[in-house]
Structure 1
Amino acid sequence: MSTERSPRAQRALRLATGTALSLAASFGLGLPIPFFAPVLAVLLLATLVRPLPFKAGVVLALAALLTTAIGLLLIPILRYYPVSGVLLVGVCLFLAFRYGLRGGNNLIMTFLVIGLTMISSAGVADFELGALVIGALVKGLVLAVGVLALSHWLFPEPANAPSPPAPPVMPADEVGRVALRTTLIVLPTFLLALIDPASYMPIILKAVSLGQQSSTATARNAGRELVGSTLFGGLLAILLWCALSLFVHLWMFFLWMLLFGLVLARKLYALSPTRFSPGFWLNSLITMIILLGQSVQDSAAGKDVYTAFAVRMGLFIVVTLYACLMVNLLSQRRGGLIAG
């Protein structure tokens, strides 16, 4: 029994259960932008091996509120001085990614990027829409923190479990280049969102995920890591949608998500070893949640789900190919400078 409940097994169970719970609760409660909660739950469960204390949860929610509200301050600049506004957003994105790559809190960095891109683009179209996105993010985060605590109560970390190794520190001379590369990956999706925020906001979230994943990708494995995880996440979303259509119910949504989450969590924590990195499986799970959440919302709104999915998946692939191009171009540029 002790072998079955090793630390990695407990973490896999927590990740799958927490993701499924947050997804079902988010849709069951009718939260705006319901895929926020499960995506944030995945990020919390994948990075934290202890539940957040109450004070830390409150501080995190306030930090999310304050950092994302920065996007509201950019609305007048983007409306009346669009070129200067876009350049300012680009510089701020670079600084936010550099902060994260230097060892800063990845969640705070993610909230900063969401504020700079999703909130500002939504606010340019409609200030109330920007405020709605902030409210949806904070509500999703509160739900994710609660699910994190519940998941740790259901599957506690063994007392003698070793702490996971700290992520490797990026060399100082690499930070600026990688931060620039990540900024160039996210910025075009921000420009698309300025045109139509309602349609392209999920693409921004995907680009942010790709940007973070690309920080560890190399020119050699970029295609496999970035494109492969996007395609696999899309395939999983299709399979889960087909399974859910057999019997449409919130509990079935929870159970199917739990099953798919368990399969991916076993890969992520190397309980079923593969040649793919943990980032591949994490990005596949996030991609599946975003695509599936949007499809469920499209269905509830009476839209053509299959056409909308095809368009969204096509955009995801384009953004991913562009991310691979940035990885290869900047890697070649660096190699040329070193050779010179």
Structure 2
Amino acid sequence: MPAPMADPRPQRALRLACGVALGTALGFGLALPLPFLTPLLVLVLLALSNQPLGLQGGLRLLLVVALTCGSGLLLSPLLRHSPVSGVLLGALGLFFSFRFALRGGSGLLSNLLVIGLTMVSAAGTTSLALGQEVVAALCKAVLLTTLCVAVSHWLFPEPAGLAPAAKAAAMGHARASWIALRAMLVVLPAWLLALIDPASYMPLVMKSANLGQQVCGTSARDAGRELLGSTLLGGALAIAFWALLSILPHLWLFFLLMLLFALLLARRLYQLVANRLSPGFWLNTCVTLIILLGQSVQDSASGKDVYTAFAIRMGLFILVTLYACAAVYLIDLRANTSNEESPC
């Protein structure tokens, strides 16, 4: 009689929590220019794939990051000298990036393309040197991400004998185009604000890019609960996290708290704690938590008023989330109307 197959979900939850906590400790401990990028990339990689990355995979990912995010630098001169044409070209690039993932392409590659077209192009519009610094920060984050993913898989490997996960079916052309359009419209306002002031609105761009990915799998009926609910929960967890970290501001406590909070979310993401919410809800909650905490730590290090900055940033996150909910509802309404009017 064959032995029962081991449940891989506990290992996956521990792997994700360990990887995110390790990425947080390395990103902030080494004082990288954008330290929250490392745990964000680790989170995305471990959530999208249950297979180890390996050295060759890490080098390939580094090359992909350099090429995709470097594409934003090519857009920067056009945005400086011909803003309307540059914005239209960037919007078109965002549309095809989201559509690529919906049609069965790599979700990670789509994420990187969106980052390149938004964060890098916005920084490069201010100055080419700043854009190059963002690309360099992304490349450093990828190297650390490769290490974190490898260590996490070594500590918590996949149970032997598991069948590979089935690839998601590609969406139809018309449906993919409508959903890619609404995802592009979600990201566009934050990107336009970042073109004016990249330093102030870079976290908002990261949040909008994440919302753009999330609306690709959200219906109009569930948009409020999925998008706004996860944003508010992420903000509440960030407040609780900061209150605990304020007791003893130390990197080790930062690591342990991130391990705890990420594990609480990962257990729900993998349904170890039964709930009716989608994995995207818990993933977006964790992304919001990491972005808010990362910016608060940087605000504290630079001597800014952490609480005022957090309140403003959280308010912007809620506004862009409400806008995303409205975009999902209106685009879905238009898509359904078009389907009803089309001949059979």
TM-score above 0.5: yes
Per-residue CA deviations over 1:37-88 (Å, capped at 9, x if unaligned) read 0000000111121111211210110110111111111121111111111111
Does the CA-based 8 Å contact 2:58-2:142 persist in structure 1?
A: no
Residues 262 and 115 from structure 1, CA distance in 2 versus in 1: closer, same or farther, beyond 3 angstroms? Answer: same
Superposition map of 1:184-199 within 5 A: 184-199=185-200
Are residues 1:45 and 2:46 paired?
yes
Q: Is the 8 A contact 2:54 2:146 kept in 1?
A: no
Amino acid at match of 1:178: I
Shift of 1:5: 6.8
What CA distance in whole angstroms lies between the structure 2 residues aligned with 1:48 and 1:336? 37
Alignment correspondent of 1:330: 331
Residue 83 of structure 1: aligned partner:
84
Separation of aligned partners in 2, 1:168 and 1:229:
26
Go from structure 1 to structure 2 and tell me whether the alpha carbon gap of 1:5 and 1:294 turns closer, same or farther (over 3 Å shift).
Answer: farther
CA distance in 2, matches of 1:175, 1:34: 33
Once the two structures are superposed, the pairs formed by residues 96-135 of structure 1 within 5 Å of their partners are 96-135=97-136
1:202-228 C-alpha deviation (Å, 9 max, x unpaired) = 111111111111011111110000000
Answer whether contact 2:24 2:39 (CA < 8 A) is retained: yes
What SS does the corresponding residue of 2:34 show, helix, strand or coil? Answer: coil
Rounded Cα–Cα distance in structure 2 between residues aligned with 1:80 and 1:93: 20
Matches for 1:263-274 after TM superposition, within 5 Å: 263-274=264-275
Partner Cα separation in structure 2 for residue 3 and residue 315 of structure 1: 49
One-letter amino acid matched to 2:114 = V
SS class of match (2:52)? coil
1:46-65 matched pairs, under 5 angstroms: 46-65=47-66
- State whether structure 2 residue 15 is matched by structure 1 residue 14: yes
Asked if 1 retains the 8 angstrom alpha-carbon contact of 2:55 and 2:146, the reply is no
Query: Equivalent residue of 1:21, what SS?
Result: helix
> Helix, strand or coil for the counterpart of 1:104?
coil
Amino acid paired to 2:207:
K
The 3-state SS of whatever aligns with 1:324 is helix
> What is the CA-CA distance between 1:3 and the residue it aligns to?
9.4
Match of 1:252 in 2: 253
Alignment-mate amino acid for residue 287 of structure 2? I
Tell me what 1:200 maps to.
201
CA distance in 2, matches of 1:188, 1:208: 11
Sequence identity percentage = 55
Alignment partner of 1:335: what SS?
Answer: helix
TM-score, normalisation: structure 1: 0.97
Deviation at 1:164, TM superposition (A): 3.1
Amino acid at match of 1:326: A
Shift of 1:4: 12
With structure 2 as the length reference, what TM-score do the two structures score?
0.96
Q: Which residue of 2 aligns with 1:70?
A: 71
Instruction: Give deviations 1:218-277, integer Å, cap 9, x for gaps.
Output: 111100000000000011111100010111110000000011011001000000011111
Relative to structure 2, which stretch is displaced further, 2-11 or 97-106?
2-11
For structure 1, the 5+ residue unaligned runs are none
The amino acid across from 1:23 in the alignment is T
Cα root mean square deviation, aligned: 1.4
Return the alpha-carbon distance in structure 2 between the equivalents of residues 16 and 35 of structure 1: 15
* Residue 290 (structure 1) aligned with residue 291 (structure 2): yes
**CA–CA distance in structure 2, aligned partners of residues 115 and 25 of structure 1:** 23
| 1:34 lines up with 2:31 in the alignment | no
